[in-house]
Structures are given as structure tokens and as C-alpha cells.
Amino acid sequence: MSNAFPIPLNALRAIEIVARRGALAPAAEELGVTVGAVSQHLRRAEDRLGMELFARTPQGLKPLPALAQILPQLSAGFTQLQDGLASLTGAHEGVLNVTVGSVFASRWLIWRVHKFSALHPGLEVRLTVTGAMLDLARPDIDCGIRYGNGTWPGVETSLIGGQDFQPVCSPQLRDRVRQATDLTQVPVIADETSMLDWPAWLTRAGLDPALKLSGPVYSDASLAFDAAISGQGVLLAADMMTADAVSDGRLIRPFALPITGKRGYFLATAKGRREPKKLRLFRDWLAEEVPASVQGYVHQNMGNAAGVR
């Protein structure tokens, strides 16, 4: 009988990890071996196959076209093996591991995740809060919430929300930002991590998209939000992320002029991965909770407006 696996399974796993990550060290860490052992796995696999799998470049190891073509199948195969073993043993069914950015975690999710836990008391949600784009194929991650256009290699996504955005500021600045042209006379907070588009909003407001704006600069999105709340300037932010602060009066939307961008928040999972019940429950909860959080803001502010009148 011919050997269906001329390359040992550990070597295949090493090839898959290195192809995804572009380096030997991540594979060594995941496999619990040395970098030298991973290098030997690759060399022996290439010898057995009679072909090179990687290009050695100054930027790291890059999969050659033949390997790049089958990489999605390799990744999906190992993900299914991990999920199959987890199902067999019942491991991790009571824990949902979610990787999420700091803004989504601190401005929206942390205030609502207790509702999900109350609905599903036997399911614990563990958050890995990081600005890094973690590998969703890792066995210790079930899903991620990412901001962007929804297209990432090896990832399946579904839109959560967050496409509408507009300027916000502290009520302290209310009298200084009566119209959009006032943005040239007040500090405008620059969030270096933001993918929101000031030129697009300025165009929607009838202004020159190249209008020069200046103010404090932050490399952390959560700090930029706090700066806006403390009155340091005007911040361009997603409506979904500012709804709570606007509802409780910490922020205002001085121009009431949202625009809809091409980016948003997406629930992301590794492509080809089985969707367990715990993830379906989380997906269904997000589908209900996100619209409810926006509607709650609208209803509350309609009530406030009626009271003023």
C-alpha cells in the first residue's frame, strides 16, 4: 500500500504555519519544538517532494506558487482536525474566545457582554484585547471582531455594523463648533490608528477635502476617545462606538451629519472552520444587540428632544 502521507503530519503542520506566518519561530512555538527542528521539517519535506516550497527572502520565508495554491486546503484541514478533536472530547465548549480591538471592547462590548452571559450562563466569554491581527486559525481563538472592509486572506466575515461615522466632541466645545467651517478654529484630534476618512466627511459637509485640520495626535484609539470626552478637541468616530457617550451626555455630534463608509466591524472566523453552537449563539446575539444599541440611542434622543420642546 502506498503511503498517503509521504510527509509526516508534524512536517505538514510546520509547512502550513510557516507559509501563513512567514517565519520559523511561530511554527516552533505552536509545535513546541526548536526553530532548528522546524527548519529540518521543511528541508526534509522538500527533499521528499523533490521541489522547493519556500523562497528565502530578506522579509522571511515566502511560499512558492505551488504551495501558495494549496495553502487554503492545508489550513482548512488542520482547522477541521482541531475542531473535530474538540468536539470528540467536549473541550472548550463552555468557553468562547474572542479577539477584539481596544475601541470595540472598551466602547461597546464590555458594557453589553454581561447580557450575553445572562442569556447563556453556562458559556464563558474570554476577550483577548489587542490591536494586532491575530491568527484566527489558532486553536485558542474561536472568532475575532475586526474593523475594515471585510476582506482578509483565509478569513470568513459577516458585517456587524459601524459603517456610519461623523465628528464628535465634548459638550464643552458646543459653542465653538456651530458649523463645519469651525473645524479650522478648534483642535481636531488625530487618531493615527483610525481608518475613518476625514476628506470624505469634509466633502459631504461641502468643504474642501484637503482642508488643513490640526490638534493633538494619539497612537491609541481608546486614548483618542478619552481625549475627545475630556474636551481636547473634535474626533471623527463611528456612530456605533460613540452611541453610549452621546446618550449619557459625555459627547455630542455637533453637526448631526453622518456618512456611510465602506468599512465596518465584522465578525471574523478562520475559513473552512466548523461553526460550533457557542459561536452561533454569539453571532445571533450580535445581530440583535447591535441594532438595539443604535435604536436605543435614537429613541432616547428623540425623547430628550421632545422634552426640550
Tell me the pLDDT tens digit for each residue of 35-81. Answer: 999 999 999 999 988 899 999 888 888 999 999 888 888 877 777 77
Q: What's the pTM?
A: 0.69
Of the candidates 69, 106, 120, which has an alpha carbon nearest to the alpha carbon of residue 220? 106
- Which domains are present in the chain? 9-89 (1.10.10.10), 95-153+263-308 (3.40.190.10), 164-260 (3.40.190.10)
| Beta strands 190-191; 217-218: pairing state | parallel
Res. 112: pLDDT tops 80: yes
Tell me the pLDDT tens digit for each residue of 227-279. Answer: 999 999 999 999 999 999 999 999 999 999 999 999 999 999 988 788 889 99
Structure confidence at residue 88 as a pLDDT band (50, 70, 90): low
Tell me the pLDDT tens digit for each residue of 193-236. Answer: 889 989 999 999 999 999 999 999 999 888 999 999 999 999 99
The pLDDT of residue 208 is 96
